[in-house]
Amino acid sequence: MSPEIEDLGRAPFAAVLTAMRALLADVLAGRDPGRILLVEHDRVYTAGRATPRTELTSDIVPIERGGKITFHGPGQLVVYPIVRLPRRDVRDWLRRLEAFGVAICGAFGLHAEPSVDGTGVFVAGRKVASIGVAIKQWVNLHGIAINVAMDLSAWQAVRPCGLSPDVMTDLSAAAGRPIGLPEAKAAARAAMPALLAP
């Protein structure tokens, strides 16, 4: 039974994080086959496990995923696959998430490349998607955030994933035309079978 894709629309991060953790518990207990959540968040900065303590401030939410600080906000599509990994191989899963992001870019005629460390997707040297996960007993938590049509100034407040904020871009800027979340969601749905293939 394939996991369902659930579109949450726009939702605050805290509520979705609570729902993700509950879903994780259900998958681990065998009560749920898992789901892929699609969401656009209200503005929030989150910090993964690799974030230095000196970079944590009161307005940044520390969470259990890998990586450093990132931003979620309007105009960004976040994909949370709360599913059992197709293979018991974390590197394979990160490569799949990168390939998923590359495929979404390809749907808009963009040549994208994965990062060298499993943390993102780049177009012409600029980052359009960020990856951060936590794996619990071979079940995934968190996922990939694809910048679609964002106010990129939000990145200037932090060093996203430890990089210069100027490296961040979105699909609309890269493609030279406005791209909406409905288009990005359609591309994500089309790329989903390859992400979850055995």
Q: How confident is the model at residue 1 (pLDDT cuts 50, 70, 90)?
A: low
User: Is residue 6's pLDDT more than 70?
Assistant: yes
CATH topology (fold) of 4-196: BirA Bifunctional Protein; domain 2 (3.30.930)
Give pLDDT, residue 112: 98
Summarised one tens digit per residue, pLDDT across range 61-72 is 999 999 889 999
105 in active site: no
From 161, 187, 188, 191, the catalytic residue: 161
Summarised one tens digit per residue, pLDDT across range 80-120 is 999 999 999 999 999 999 999 999 999 999 999 999 776 89
Q: What b/e string do you get for 84-117 counting C-beta neighbours within 10 Å, with b at 16 or more?
A: bbeeeeeeebbebbbbbbbbbbebbebebebbee
Across 53-62, 71-80, 101-110, 154-163, least confident range: 154-163
Instruction: Report percent pLDDT > 70 for the chain.
Output: 99
